[in-house]
Amino acid sequence: MSGLLALLDDVAAIAKVAASSVDDIAAAAAKAGSKAAGVVIDDAAVTPKYVTGFSASRELPIIWRIALGSVRNKLVILLPALLALDAFLPQAITPLLMLGGAYLCFEGAEKVAHALFPHADPVIEADFATGDATHLEEAKVAGAIKTDFILSAEIMTIALAAIPQGTVWIEAVTLAVVGLLITVAVYGAVALIVKMDDIGLHMAAGGTRVGRAIGRGLVVGMPKLLTLLSTVGTLAMLWVGGSIVIHGMEELGFGWLGHHIHDLAVLAGQAVPQAHGAVEWGAKAAMDGVFGLALGMVLIPLVTRIIAPLWGLVAGRKAAH
């Protein structure tokens, strides 16, 4: 009997530890998710442009495929990689993040360059000319998942930094919870945004006069909103990419640029005391974005004329073998 009581005591103790761990995970996940909120907003702004131009029947399947790719990015690749780097080579995290930030700057600058100096993408033009919507969709999904990987890396790294030091499994479960919740939030919001015109059509077809008016407003307004979100997504790439690189430079001991940007942002905020915080944040974000654009413009010829051809040669040799 005494043995049974001792066993029950042990079970009760294990249950208390498990309950405490669940509470710790929930608290850490909430804290980490709030820390990464800024990048989450950027992720949500970037994604809708990848379904622009496709038929309504393909919008949700495309978003679903990108969301699955995002989950794979976060849980299969980034989670174990970040935990391993944090345990064995923490000094490598900052340079890798800077590479990701530079890639975002390149992507954002390429879109700005295309807007200023329009030119046809030969692959996309060929897909439109031949009616190869499947190939175009594959290219768009692949591009979206690639961009998501960079943003997800930033989100997961911020989340990892916000998690209190504990056992590896608690950190892993917390990161997994954060990754899943953020993915559901981002791609759920994106799905709602891109289907709002269909909701508007349904509302405009029947119901009350007010409902029909709202429906017509949604139908008319959603293309403009999607265009706006595409612009915001490009600006977000430049802002986030620039801020990642600048912060990485500070971490590596080259903090002069970050310090100057901070000082200028503080001066801008002091000039408008009624909205000090908002003006300071906006000034810093704008300067980070300008730096991101400048870096991206420098990277465009480097990537398109040197790195991409070299990568094509290496990939072609591997394929031949």
Q: What are the structure tokens assigned to 194, written together?
A: 């891109």
Of 28-32, 206-210, 307-311, the least confident? 28-32
* pLDDT above 80 (res 242): yes
Count of domains observed in the chain: 1
**223 domain residue, yes or no:** yes
**219 domain residue, yes or no:** yes
CA angle 156, 311, 133 (to 5 degrees): 75
**306 domain residue, yes or no:** yes
**2 domain residue, yes or no:** no
**252 domain residue, yes or no:** yes
The model carries a pTM of 0.69
Report pLDDT for 249.
Answer: 93
Domain membership of residue 250 as a residue range? 20-320
**87 domain residue, yes or no:** yes
| CA 148 distance to own-chain centroid | 5
Report pLDDT for 133.
Answer: 67
**173 domain residue, yes or no:** yes
**8 domain residue, yes or no:** no
Alpha helices in the chain (DSSP H): 2-35, 37-46, 56-71, 79-88, 93-116, 122-130, 133-162, 168-194, 196-204, 209-251, 256-271, 276-302, 308-320
Cα–Cα separations (whole angstroms), residue 307 to 109, 256, 315: 17, 29, 12
Phi, psi angles (nearest 5°) of residue 119: -150, 150
